[in-house]
């Protein structure tokens, strides 16, 4: 018996929900089985199923959610992690009684919202098939496991794409609010301001009027202002996060070619795993982002071009290029371009899906074992 999808609101697409929930379930179940086989250890509880993902930045977000920020001790460096995601985790922990469960609950809601708003955004310019494929390619991307675990990717992307969708529909207040929350989630939320300015320009070209509603986009940098106030309240310096990034995390701005060159040198690392994960794969995803931008330039809206270009520059304009495979998830037009190409050429469809699924498995295995995987 087939499901009558007409009983659902148009935005609540059953296929998108199935895509998100099925991939989520498969990723989590696959990770458990892979962990047990490779590590020769059993995962015997629900806490263990979730706990194997409690690695790297996830530990920091959970610590902030539970204890907040501080100006003393080693935990003072946690101020570099933006507050909106751990705030939501802290709030939902009141319902779940467990911070880790709350974190997965927040990412689950955010990932579902992400799939739904991404489909709606793509449908403004393309067919239903392209929209569905775009969502699929996003959720099977090699680093898409970050959309399901205690990281900011699903929340940030849902807010970002929601802001783009609102701007495309000229709902400027909603765009500003979502953009402001994105800025409280990740620093590159600031890129929304110049990106969405192109949508302002497009509306002006179409209507020949000046609208006071465009001023709602100032809520975007206001969100970042909240983060600066937090820095001041905790440490007495609104820019302390930049100091810690440089002195503790050794991250600071450099010319793009300098950061890329440092990554190229890591390919010669005598440890094969490091040569691949911090050298070859980083460079590969740097190239993927740039190639998608250049090849797809004519197919992209001005706002999408600005979003991709400025974010790509942020990824590589640093003392050392790291985590680009994860950051590439935020370059959402890539998945639209993949869907367009896959729809047109079956061989590319097979290539994209095979590559995505194979490396999604490899990277997810590395991550749950506690090894570096972006």
Domain-by-domain residue ranges, the chain?
A: 10-368
8: pLDDT confidence band, cut at 50, 70 and 90?
low
State phi, psi for 3 to the nearest 5 degrees.
-85, 130
Cα 37 to chain centroid, rounded = 29
Report the pLDDT value the prediction gives residue 10, as an integer from 0 to 100: 74
Could you give the CA distance from residue 324 to residue 285 in angstroms, rounded to a whole number?
6
- Average pLDDT value for residue range 73-90: 98
pLDDT over threshold 50, residue 2? no
Residue 185's contacts (CB-CB under 8 Å, 6 or more residues apart) are 82, 84, 85, 152, 155, 156, 159
Report the pLDDT value the prediction gives residue 7, as an integer from 0 to 100: 54
Yes or no: say if 323 and 374 are a contact pair by the CB < 8 Å rule. yes
- Average pLDDT value for residue range 143-157: 98
Exposure b/e, 332-368, CB count within 10 A at least 16 = b: bbbbbbbbbbbbeeeeebeebbeebeebbbbbbbbbb
Q: What is the pLDDT of residues 94-107, one digit of tens each?
A: 999 999 999 999 99
Could you give the CA distance from residue 134 to residue 340 in angstroms, rounded to a whole number?
8
Could you give the CA distance from residue 16 to residue 119 in angstroms, rounded to a whole number?
8
3-state secondary structure 204-247: HHHHCCCCHHHHHHHHHHHHHHHHHHHHHHHHCCCCHHHHHHHH
- Average pLDDT value for residue range 75-85: 98
Q: What is the pLDDT of residues 269-316, one digit of tens each?
A: 999 999 999 999 999 999 999 999 999 999 999 999 999 999 999 999
What three-state secondary structure class fits 65?
A: helix
Report the pLDDT value the prediction gives residue 256, as an integer from 0 to 100: 94
1: pLDDT confidence band, cut at 50, 70 and 90?
very low
3: pLDDT confidence band, cut at 50, 70 and 90?
very low
337: pLDDT confidence band, cut at 50, 70 and 90?
very high
Length of the chain: 374
Radius of gyration of the chain (CA): 21
Q: What percent of the chain lies above the pLDDT cut of 70? A: 98
Could you give the CA distance from residue 227 to residue 141 in angstroms, rounded to a whole number?
30
């Amino acid at each position: 018996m087939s499901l009558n999808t007409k009983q659902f609101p148009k935005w609540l697409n059953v296929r998108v929900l199935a895509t998100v929930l099925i991939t989520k379930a498969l990723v989590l179940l696959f990770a458990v089985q892979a962990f047990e086989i490779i590590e020769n250890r059993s995962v015997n509880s629900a806490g263990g199923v979730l706990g194997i993902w409690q690695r790297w930045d996830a530990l920091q977000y959970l610590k902030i959610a539970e204890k907040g920020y501080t100006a003393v001790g080693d935990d003072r460096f946690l101020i570099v992690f933006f507050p909106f995601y751990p705030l939501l985790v802290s709030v939902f922990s009141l319902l779940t009684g467990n911070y880790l469960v709350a974190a997965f609950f927040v990412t689950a809601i955010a990932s579902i919202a992400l799939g739904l708003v991404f489909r709606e955004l793509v449908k403004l310019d393309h067919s239903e098939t392209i929209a569905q494929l775009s969502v699929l390619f996003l959720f099977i991307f090699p680093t898409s496991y970050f959309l399901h675990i205690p990281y900011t990717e699903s929340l940030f992307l849902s807010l970002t794409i929601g802001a783009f969708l609102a701007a495309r529909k000229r709902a400027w207040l909603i765009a500003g609010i979502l953009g402001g929350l994105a800025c409280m989630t990740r620093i590159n939320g600031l890129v929304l301001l110049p990106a969405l300015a192109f949508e302002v320009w497009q509306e002006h070209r179409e209507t020949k009027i000046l609208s006071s509603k465009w001023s709602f986009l100032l809520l975007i940098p206001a969100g970042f202002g909240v983060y600066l106030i937090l820095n001041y309240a905790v440490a007495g310096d609104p820019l302390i996060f930049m100091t810690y990034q440089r002195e503790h995390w050794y991250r600071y701005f450099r010319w793009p070619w300098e950061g890329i060159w440092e990554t190229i040198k890591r390919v010669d690392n005598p440890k094969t795993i490091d040569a691949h994960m911090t050298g070859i794969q980083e460079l590969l995803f740097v190239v993927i982002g740039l190639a998608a931008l250049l090849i797809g330039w004519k197919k992209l809206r001005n706002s999408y071009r600005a979003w991709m270009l400025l974010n790509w520059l942020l990824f590589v304009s640093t003392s050392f290029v790291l985590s680009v495979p994860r950051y590439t998830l935020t370059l959402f037009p890539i998945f639209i371009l993949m869907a367009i190409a896959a729809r047109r050429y079956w061989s590319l469809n097979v290539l994209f899906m095979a590559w995505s699924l194979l490396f999604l498995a490899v990277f997810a295995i590395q991550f749950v074992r506690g090894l570096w995987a972006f």
